[in-house]
Structure 1
Amino acid sequence: MSLAVRPMHADEAEAVAGMVRGLAEHIGTDFVPALTGGKLRSAAGLIDVVVADDGGRLIGACLGLMTFSTWRGAPGLYVVDLFVLPEARGRNVGLDLLRCSARRFAGRGASFIKLEVDETNVGAGRFYARLGFSKKAEDRLHILEQDKFMEFVGGQS
């Protein structure tokens, strides 16, 4: 079979959502992603998804967003998720997905890639290091989850 890396078709959204759930399972978290095909389709204007299609079977996906760095004074690609099915790893599918996504965003002015890797996902850390990514130990992720976000939005100034 021949591998094609291309934009996701709307009817593939549920399969991509399943891959995101597979990523959570791969890193061993008890958290189950709330992403569904419907939610992914409804976010089409916000998120760009490329898939790896191996003869009609999806074997990987890269989900990205445009971001902007005030420190760099430039737009960039923020990789939300990159996942390749276990049986398809070692074939450069992840590299092809990431490169396709980067090219799409470079066409929109992006000049860097930013992403997060779960500390338990050692293989992903090695993958990104091989590509030249540097780990920013001084950065720490802070999240205001949905329930606290709604409290914050409704609060008084």
Structure 2
Amino acid sequence: MATAPGRVRPATPADVPAIVSMIRDLAEYEKALHEVEATEEHVGAALFPEGGAPTTFAHVAEVDSTVVGAAVWFLSFSTWTGTNGVWLEDLYVDPAHRGSGLGQELLRALATLCVERGYHRLEWWVLDWNSASIGFYESIGARAQDEWTRFRLDGDALAALAGG
């Protein structure tokens, strides 16, 4: 594969508006824009908190000094391996730059981070209907983990369990 036409780097506070824009673009693609509540303030506070350690991280892909892709991630932990891993929450590359290698470079940056830190896993979700993304992930050696069923507790059910 040819070298991607840009570069991948850790995000900076100046990248937050572009990251939020891409979160919204991804949600629109996934037919869930109405569910996005995240603001620049939310994302900025998670990535670059004042007076504390971040809980969320991001890498961006840029071409000609313009951010055109992002990987938003956080640390996970496997009790089986006894090590952290990286959970990729969102991977997005602007449609005009898809196929350029930037998506793979974003994943490579996270894989490199995992290897350098001794983490055993890089994991993420992909919607069942997103065949283009599934094909891309399979092309780089990722395997579907379909023996697990995902559960979520949110909204009223979350409040009810919390006793509220």
TM-score norm. by structure 1 comes to 0.89
**Distance in structure 1 (CA, Å) of the matches to 2:34 and 2:80:** 32
Q: Secondary structure at the match of 1:120?
A: coil
Match of 2:83 among 69, 74, 83: 74
Tell me the residue number matched to 2:69: 60
The one-letter amino acid of 1:134's match is: R
The one-letter amino acid of 2:66's match is: R
Counterpart contact for 2:114–2:122, Cα < 8 Å: no
Number of matched residues?
155
1:7 and 2:10 correspond? yes
Shift of 1:55: 1.1
Match of 2:158 among 128, 137, 149: 149
Gaps in structure 1 of 5+ consecutive residues: none
Cα RMSD, aligned residues only:
1.9
**Distance in structure 1 (CA, Å) of the matches to 2:9 and 2:59:** 5
Tell me the residue number matched to 1:138: 147
**Distance in structure 2 (CA, Å) of the matches to 1:121 and 1:31:** 19
TM-score norm. by structure 2 comes to 0.86
The one-letter amino acid of 1:13's match is: V
Counterpart contact for 1:79–1:114, Cα < 8 Å: yes
Shift of 1:40: 1.0
**Distance in structure 2 (CA, Å) of the matches to 1:35 and 1:127:** 27
Counterpart contact for 1:66–1:105, Cα < 8 Å: no
Q: After the TM superposition, which parts of structure 1 deviate over 4 Å for at least 4 consecutive aligned residues?
A: none
Shift of 1:30: 5.2
Counterpart contact for 2:9–2:60, Cα < 8 Å: yes
Match of 1:126 among 119, 123, 135: 135
Q: Secondary structure at the match of 1:11?
A: helix
Shift of 1:146: 3.5
Greater Cα shift, 91-100 or 30-39: 30-39
Gaps in structure 2 of 5+ consecutive residues: 48-53
